[in-house]
Structure 1
Amino acid sequence: MQKDKKPSFFSVLFFILKATFIGFGGGNALMPIIKKIAVDQRKWISQEDFDNAVIVTNMIPGPSVVEMLSFVAIKTIGKTKGMIVTLLGILPHVLMAFGLFFALNSLPEKYVYVFHISVLSVILALLILFGWRYLKMSQKELSFPIWFGLFSFTLAFSFFVPTPYNIASLIMVAVIVFVFIFELIKSKIKNKRKKDEEINN
């Protein structure tokens, strides 16, 4: 965040309302909108901070959008104001959710299905674009075999492990353990070869 562009309380409140009202869905579906406003346009947080926050909010329990908005708010205007502005920002959505709940109960079920499909289409498009961006970033850091292995494992875990057991943090722990064991074995093999070369010489 640039110190000379520190936002006001109401600027952050407007950011939360804007980011959440113009987007559809939850979780990672809103992350591209939050990034566009907080990172690209306002430059309140850095790209690195945003990427780290995405990883953390997907690992810990709770709604990732609220966690991300809280992170941006606290990072820009402090802990106390950040928590207050986040609560004020999500209050209209709580009231709207109650209103929609009662309104949808009065509609025929076929119209609810139409709304459901429309919203899912938008969410799917946002997630594909968001995933494509991180795919291009990961290819610069990882070789294709490692990337494909991680992708296949994550995809299988998401599709075949039922809720509530498909916790994202389990994937992270499994990957960390696998990489640790792999690097440990690789290091031991390298050291053994080095010792053998020293003995032969």
Structure 2
Amino acid sequence: MKKEVSFWKLFWFIIKITFIGFGGGNALMPVIKKEVVDKNNWITPNEFDEIVIVTNMLPGASVIQTISYISIKLLGKLKGTLVTLVAIFPHVMMAFGLLLLFNKIPTQYIKIISVGVLVSIIAFLIDFGYRFIKQSKDTFKTPIWILIFLFSFSYSLFIPSPYNIPIVAILVVISIYTIIYFILKNKKGGDK
């Protein structure tokens, strides 16, 4: 799905995404998806899902990796890299300025802003999770999602911090489920 996109349209998209970039990559992925997949049809939904998977496996800022991939795909290597660098430059300067002024901002204001940002991040993640589960309900059944959620939530809540490595527990549960699923599927297939 190669679409012709102007340098400046992509530039303003990156400016907009990075200016509302509180919460990091996973909080912004639904916003990026809405713009890139739903509104502008620059990439397919499957391609966006693959981008999310790959950027979460790589070290570094997943938002920058995502917008870099989209820019390079749409404009080519040189223009795509250039538009990404030019568009993130104002934010880097703003962050540097905030760092210099950080001692001047009262702590109480920082705490109030953090609470508001956390609420919006949680809302974005819940919406993203709901849409993802809704799209994949044919692949995974609802009881499995509920079981994985309850297990990971209770593990994160009740296991003390030094031993709380949720990804390990989630991978173990998913691996066990996958093994059981394929064993049962092969048994049903063998009976026919």
TM-score past 0.5 threshold: yes
- Select 1:148's aligned residue among 134, 146, 149: 146
Letter paired with 2:15: L
- Select 2:27's aligned residue among 26, 29, 37: 29
Deviation at 1:60, TM superposition (A): 2.6
1:36-115 correspondence to structure 2 within 5 Å: 36-115=34-113
Instruction: Classify 1:171/1:51 alpha carbon distance in 2 versus 1 (closer, same or farther; 3 Å).
Output: farther
**What fraction of aligned residue pairs are identical, expressed as a percent?**
44
CA offsets 1:140-192 (integer angstroms, 9 cap, x no match): 321223222332344356555858x8586x5785466435532453366458x
Instruction: Classify 1:144/1:33 alpha carbon distance in 2 versus 1 (closer, same or farther; 3 Å).
Output: closer
| Cα contact 2:152–2:166 (8 A) shared by 1 | no
Question: In the alignment, what sits opposite 1:136?
Answer: 134
Instruction: Classify 1:155/1:83 alpha carbon distance in 2 versus 1 (closer, same or farther; 3 Å).
Output: farther
1:165-176 correspondence to structure 2 within 5 Å: 166=165, 174=172
Q: How many Å separate the matches in 2 of 1:167 and 1:74?
A: 34
Q: Secondary structure at the match of 1:48?
A: helix
- In structure 1, runs of 5+ residues without a counterpart are none
Deviation at 1:106, TM superposition (A): 0.6
Superposition RMSD on alpha carbons, in Å?
A: 3.0
Q: How many Å separate the matches in 2 of 1:179 and 1:171?
A: 12
| Cα contact 2:27–2:121 (8 A) shared by 1 | yes
- In structure 2, runs of 5+ residues without a counterpart are none
Q: Structure 1 length normalisation: TM-score?
A: 0.77
Q: Secondary structure at the match of 1:30?
A: helix
- Select 1:127's aligned residue among 111, 125, 128: 125
| Cα contact 1:38–1:44 (8 A) shared by 2 | yes
Q: How many Å separate the matches in 1 of 2:103 and 2:27?
A: 26
Letter paired with 1:151: F
| Cα contact 1:9–1:85 (8 A) shared by 2 | yes
| Cα contact 1:104–1:112 (8 A) shared by 2 | no
Question: In the alignment, what sits opposite 1:118?
Answer: 116
